[in-house]
Amino acid sequence: MTTPDSPAQIQVFQEDPEALKAWIKVQALELGFSDCVIARPDAQAELPRLQEYLERGYHGDMKFLEENLDKRANPTLLIPNTRSVICVRMDYLVESPEPRMVPDAPNSAIIARYARGRDYHKTMRGRLKMLSAKIKEKVGEFESRPFADSAPVFEKSLAENAGMGWTGKHTLLIHKKSGSFFVLGELFTSLELPFDEPTTKHCGSCTACIDICPTQAIVEPYMLDARRCIAYLTIEYKGIIPEDLRRGIGNRVFGCDDCQLICPWNSFAKTTTIADFHPRNGLDQASLLDLWQWDEPTFLASTEGSPLRRTGYQSFMRNIAIGLGNAPFNPAIIQALQNSRAQHDEVVQVHIDWSIQEQLSKSR
């Protein structure tokens, strides 16, 4: 009888790429990935859209998007001898949320759902390495390298071209049976595997995500101006947030889920099986005033292994200051803002001043 690890079984895989692809997908699901597709190492079709995006200046301060365009479009330039890309996704919802039509719980600090637990980049890379090791046990040595939003890779385009979903009007990938609350990862390989094919698009005439965006960042279907996007402003951007966008930010202190929450396809969103996505340090229930009391050592201790580290302490406090300004009038907020002014940099102080004025305007 042939065992799963026998030379005969390995030979079958080498002679039958479809069987190997099917086996790889089973292994991916067993490792906790929600889906797995095999993509061509070719994203040339995405390049004109990125170039238009850059020409419009919609990328803001994300200058890294201007670099390595050739490698983004052609993965074989990034990792030579790449023959196929194993694309995976991880669902990250801990519980199915209700659509957030308007900012609720105004004294709460809203953190994007993907960022409430462990940094998914670490989880994703670790499991991709495990997947690579499993494959090597079956077929022998081959070249591979895992990615999780960590290199010039058109990860969404690769996954879309292999049927992981379609790009919605909010520019995120949507899966017909799973919605969009997931993160992507890739394993570049030298394996000759059969490629999966694209799926069809199903946004139709719906404009819910465009209409709900608090800062009107989705300037047209499938085109996002990051300079107006709350996710960009509260995570990537380190400067003074334009005053005309601050009220729209509301109490979102790290990222924004609104365009996803309103999407009808997310009625099918799946909850995660991966413990790393479960909230840490009460980040799903934190109040603005509680977080405002954090000094930098507390921030560092409370965000160890968390995506929130990406903002840095001062930018995180800037975001909370905006949330406090947008909260209902409370003398305790004004007092807390005034008492903490000295421990923050000039950028944060600009937002403290604005927030105090916003609070005072609500007291009249």
Catalytic annotation on 211? no
Nearest to 329 by CA among 288, 296, 358: 358
- Beta-bridged to residue 91, according to DSSP, are 182
270 annotated as belonging to a binding site for a ligand: no
Query: Which one of 42, 61, 149, 290 is the catalytic residue?
Result: 149
Pairing of strands 252-254, 110-111: parallel
Q: Which two structure tokens, joined as six digits, stand for 270?
A: 């799946």
Q: Which two structure tokens, joined as six digits, stand for 86?
A: 């194993």
| pLDDT at res. 150 | 81
Helix axes 7-15, 17-30, angle to 10 degrees: 110
Q: Which two structure tokens, joined as six digits, stand for 2?
A: 């042939």
pLDDT digits (tens, 9 = 90+) for 348-362: 999 999 999 999 999
203 annotated as belonging to a binding site for a ligand: yes
CB 277 within 8 A of CB 92: yes
pTM score over 0.75? yes
36 annotated as belonging to a binding site for a ligand: no
pLDDT digits (tens, 9 = 90+) for 263-277: 999 999 999 999 999
pLDDT digits (tens, 9 = 90+) for 64-110: 999 999 999 999 999 999 999 999 999 999 998 776 554 567 899 99
**Domain extent listing, the chain:** 15-93+117-187, 205-356
263 annotated as belonging to a binding site for a ligand: yes
295 annotated as belonging to a binding site for a ligand: no
Pairing of strands 144-147, 182-189: antiparallel
Q: Which two structure tokens, joined as six digits, stand for 265?
A: 């396809």
Residue 1: pLDDT over 70 = no
Distance CA 156, CA 108 (A): 32
